Structure 1
Amino acid sequence: MKSLAHWIVAAMLAAVTAGGASVALAAEVLLGPGDVVRLSVYGSPDLSVETRVSESGAITFPLLGQVAVGGMSVAAAEKKIGGLLEKGGYLKKAEVNMLVTTLASQQVSVLGQVNRPGRYPVEGRRKVLDLLAMAGGVSAEGSDLISLVRTRDGKTTRETIDIVDMVRKGELDKDVEVAGGDIIFVERAPRAYVTGEVQRPGAFRIERGMTVQQAISAGGGLTPRGSDSGMRITRRDADGRAVTMEARASDPVQVDDVITVRESWF
């Protein structure tokens, strides 16, 4: 069974694809180590070069040698290189064009229960749902909860986002922008277990507000010998001890519960 989170992000995937997600908004890209750029100067084909941004944030450019561009936008880097060419007396008017061919520095890792885990470039302004869509959406085993790990000003933080609740309530302000180096981790959906006289004993995904009766349905229903009375739940208490209690069909199911359906006496 696919979760609501799966369908939400699948819809986002269609929207991102339709909107041309692969097109880089060059003006918004900040250059960083590992990026590969192709430069050309109008009227001076001998100055065309493809180069990689070094770990120190510099590129090698003809006549100028090392030029620091790390942390600069493409437009700012173009202006800087043009200014240096003019200041050095190499050209009276330098029109520099820079194209980012490989965006290695601005990548977000999307991990966990997604269909295509990996590292994805942040081209322009991208938010959490955009990156989940680029990763193929939440898998059938994925939770509605995701963890967003970010480092800003040397401080690493972890935030939990309920993507289904966010969309249902229209609280899209929680769909925050991401940047290179961020990590999105989709948790595994919470699970519980049903055993005894059910058609398909074993683990099942806990849906929101799930009751014992619904859990038994997830297990295929009762066997001909199964009884819907005298059911029991075994769960861990605050101290981690296993506690077994009688269960009613309307009782809510909790993570890692073990629901036991006993055989009917008649």
Structure 2
Amino acid sequence: MNAPQLKTLRLDADKDTGVAVVTLDRPGRLNAVDLEMAGELRTLWRGLRFDDSVRAVVLTGAGERAFCTGIDRDVVVPQPSSPYMQDDPLLTVGPKANDLWKPVVAAVRGMACGGAFYLLGECEFIVADATAVFFDPHTTYGMVSAYESVLMTQRMPYGEVARMVLMGNAERIGARRAHEIGLVSEVTGEGEALAGAVRCAEVIARCPTEAVQGTVRALWAAKEAARAPAFAQAPHLIALGNLPVERQAELFGGRRGGEFGVR
């Protein structure tokens, strides 16, 4: 794969181990996703399909404060007037949405909230350090948590997802609790999540490629059966349930994009 010119991401591939590390690289904005990053993620995932030297991927965020805080609040995405249609740039930022069936392990440090679940929901498993915290502030700001809720019910018990998404900004799931409920597969010491995720990815990359990718596809097939009809309900639930943009802005209290962006 010819490395694309990246402005919001970093790609570091180790040809010896077969592991590539993809880093969300907007630490000054808490790695919130703007339209440029969304486009680069799509290009990167699709490009990795053609690089046979990459057999496993680790996804992480730059800096100490956040893995990702969802979409940058400065992003403006015009929406159709119909409640049955919605333009959501985050729907295509994940590896599975881009037909990449190589295993992806997430390494989380600091905050992972709101739209970050679009990415985490398409990773095979999550390694988090002791500082990791997971939350979904949608309801606090008058927004429906739709896609995020669907993705997280495939990773967490229903009651835990319901508590997190319904309590909004008031409910934070720390690393230890995330491990107890199965959201996180391993908790490391502070600053060690990336190394832990890379170790796992290196083990996976040593296994026969076809067997690994077939297994990833089989795992995702089980999730797709429930995910597709649930996603079909999301656009009109969001359109009917979200407060007007101006009212959302009031509830955000003037907070600028990149600070707890949601979707």
More strand by share: 1
Under a length normalisation based on structure 2, what TM-score does the superposition of the two structures give?
0.22
TM score, norm. by length of structure 1: 0.22
Q: Which structure's relative contact order is higher, taking Cα pairs within 8 Å and 6+ residues apart?
A: 2
